[in-house]
Amino acid sequence: MRTELHRQHTSALTGVRNLGILAHVDAGKTTVTERILYATGTTHKRGEVHDGTTITDFDSQERDRGITIFAAAVSCTWAGHRINLIDTPGHVDFADEVERSLRVLDGAIAVFDAVAGVEPQSESVWRQADRHAVPRIAFVNKLDRAGADLDTAVASIRERLHVIPLVVQLPIGYEDGFTGVVDLLRMRALVWADGSGTYEEGDVPDELRDEAQRRRRLLEETVAELHPGALEEFCARSELSGRTLAGALRELTRTGEGVVVLCGSAYRNRGVEPLLEAVVAYLPSPLDVPPVRGTLGEAVQERAADPAAPFAALAFKVNATATGRLTYLRVYSGTIRKGETVLDVGARRSERIGRILRVQADRHVDVDTAVAGDIVAVIGPKAARAGATLCAPDAPLVLEPPTVADPVVSVA
Ligand code: GDP
């Protein structure tokens, strides 16, 4: 029998985004991450920026973010959605860790530099994400830099990544004059209000109206070409409604046939709010992704993101911290309650879940349960390694074939 609690858990899952940020070193991954934490109020309550530059205000907050820089995953809240930001190590020496982090996320933002475009490392991480079929949106960063050009960066995405760019914004100005974007879905100008990262919405400036219309048309034609449902509407009306366009963009993101492209300057805190809106609009929730597959001996099992199914989670990182030995889990199915005992299948060992924590930028928040789709850290397991499957003792399965055990990282 499905309980009311189960129904609530399931509907809450539609608001979860397990998100990674992929980038070439220096493209701005750290800055984008920090601006997201800032925009979501995790490191700074919005509306508290008074005078002085935002950068300075922001930097003063950075000193408090002790947990964030060591966390394998940080939870924040945006417009009623829970966004779990999962760290994807950029360094090739951590190949296992990169693979595992790609495995536990449901979607990603690929960050590119508006001057350099696609760089070799962004190409390799893109290929890795392809192998894991991770739905992605692209953020062309650093539009404030001398020589920045969205079109050139978009051309390099098309040519080097062999994916069809679906550009949903037109920049208003470049370099120091980069003051906003035209949102091509709403056909409205979003102008950065100040350094706080918020924007004000207004009419498309006269001088950009023709160009914005041309680009909207191009977007509609590209989408109609790729998406049968959109094509039907396009043929009938020779244009697409915003609703059809948004639905088709979501679908093309899920299948990887196209990549939605946004732009901004993370450093100047410009463009991160529309980016978060796109995360919520286009990237999937844990309910939208295919069930995870596990094995038990020769048998393959599928587990859907169902809070009522037997519990199964993958430990994707283990950190020794001042709070204790944190085992980061992606819960794939079922529900775990504080105090329960689970089985580490590979090690054939029982482990007790003493505490369940949501890791935020500057604190750990204790919760009583974690359900399918969640990313949490637990304290209690004494020996579980990254890569271990933790599951209900009466419903064992292995989510990841055993490899050389990863070390426990000490960050205390
Ligand atoms: P990561 O290596 O990808 O994590 O990149 P960082 O976020 O550390 O950024 C690399 C450098 O680029 C730093 O010096 C940042 O201050 C700078 N940077 C990041 N975003 C922007 C931006 O939007 N504009 C400009 N001009 N510089 C940026």
Q: Note the pLDDT tens digit of each residue in 376-385.
A: 999 999 999 9
What is the structure's pLDDT at 183? 98
Q: Is the CB of 26 under 6 A from ligand 1?
A: yes
Q: Is the CB of 144 under 6 A from ligand 1?
A: yes
**Annotated binding residue 409:** no
Confidence check: pLDDT of 108 > 60: yes
Residue with tokens 């359900």: 371
Q: Please give the average per-residue pLDDT across 36-47, as a whole number.
A: 67
Q: Is the CB of 109 under 6 A from ligand 1?
A: no
Q: Please give the average per-residue pLDDT across 115-136, as a whole number.
A: 92
Identity of the residue numbered 150: L
What is the structure's pLDDT at 46? 37
Contacts of 355 (CB under 8 A, 6+ apart): 324, 338, 366, 378, 379, 380
Give the integer Cα–Cα distance in Å for 309 and 237: 45
Mean pLDDT of the chain, nearest integer: 87
Q: Is the CB of 10 under 6 A from ligand 1?
A: no
Write down the pTM of the prediction: 0.90
- Using the CB atoms, write b or e for 346-362: b if 16+ within 10 Å: bbeeebebebbbbbbbe
Confidence check: pLDDT of 276 > 90: yes
* Residue with CA nearest ligand 1 atom 14: 26
**Annotated binding residue 25:** yes
Higher pLDDT, 407 or 16: 16
Give the integer Cα–Cα distance in Å for 364 and 232: 50
Q: Please give the average per-residue pLDDT across 144-151, as a whole number.
A: 97
* Residue with CA nearest ligand 1 atom 10: 26
**Annotated binding residue 87:** yes
Q: Is the CB of 266 under 6 A from ligand 1?
A: yes
Mutation pick for ligand 1 pocket among 24, 26, 269 (CB with most ligand atoms within 8 Å): 26
CA–centroid distance, 130 to ligand 1, in Å, is 25
Confidence check: pLDDT of 174 > 80: yes
What is the structure's pLDDT at 63? 39
**Closest atom of ligand 1 relative to the 111 alpha carbon:** 3
Return the percentage of the chain with pLDDT > 70, whole number: 87
Q: Is the CB of 272 under 6 A from ligand 1?
A: no
Mutation pick for ligand 1 pocket among 31, 33, 55, 122 (CB with most ligand atoms within 8 Å): 31
Q: Please give the average per-residue pLDDT across 36-43, as a whole number.
A: 80
CA–centroid distance, 15 to ligand 1, in Å, is 29
**Annotated binding residue 144:** yes
What are the backbone angles phi and psi of residue 202, rounded to the nearest 5°? -155, -175
pLDDT band at 94 (very low <50, low <70, confident <90, very high): low
Confidence check: pLDDT of 41 > 50: yes
Q: Please give the average per-residue pLDDT across 316-325, as a whole number.
A: 89
Residue 235 has, within 13 A of its CA and on its CB side, a CA count of: 7
Q: Is the CB of 141 under 6 A from ligand 1?
A: yes
Could you give the angle at which helices 54-62 and 29-39 cross, rounded to 10 degrees? 90
CA–centroid distance, 5 to ligand 1, in Å, is 43
What is the structure's pLDDT at 190? 97
Higher pLDDT, 240 or 44: 240
Q: Is the CB of 29 under 6 A from ligand 1?
A: yes
**Annotated binding residue 24:** yes
Confidence check: pLDDT of 407 > 60: no
pLDDT band at 61 (very low <50, low <70, confident <90, very high): very low
* Residue with CA nearest ligand 1 atom 2: 26
CA–centroid distance, 347 to ligand 1, in Å, is 42
168 to each of 89, 242, 245, 276, how far by Cα in Å? Answer: 28, 11, 10, 14
Q: Is the CB of 25 under 6 A from ligand 1?
A: yes
Q: Are 392 and 311 in contact (CB under 8 A)?
A: yes
**Closest atom of ligand 1 relative to the 34 alpha carbon:** 7
pLDDT band at 92 (very low <50, low <70, confident <90, very high): low
What is the structure's pLDDT at 97? 80
Give the E-state strand segments of 9-132 in sequence order. 16-23, 73-78, 81-86, 107-113
Token output for 242 = 């915003």
What is the structure's pLDDT at 72? 85
Q: Which of 203, 202, 201, 193 minimizes the C-alpha distance to 268?
A: 193
Q: Is the CB of 88 under 6 A from ligand 1?
A: no
CA–centroid distance, 295 to ligand 1, in Å, is 42
Confidence check: pLDDT of 298 > 80: yes
Token output for 337 = 């309650």
* Residue with CA nearest ligand 1 atom 6: 28
CA–centroid distance, 29 to ligand 1, in Å, is 7
pLDDT in tens, 218-242: 999 999 999 999 999 999 999 999 9
Confidence check: pLDDT of 412 > 60: no
pLDDT band at 191 (very low <50, low <70, confident <90, very high): very high
What is the structure's pLDDT at 93? 63
Q: Please give the average per-residue pLDDT across 119-132, as a whole number.
A: 90
pLDDT band at 95 (very low <50, low <70, confident <90, very high): confident
**Annotated binding residue 72:** no
**Annotated binding residue 18:** no
pLDDT band at 269 (very low <50, low <70, confident <90, very high): very high
What is the structure's pLDDT at 5? 67
- The H or E element containing residue 121 is helix 120-131
Higher pLDDT, 323 or 365: 365
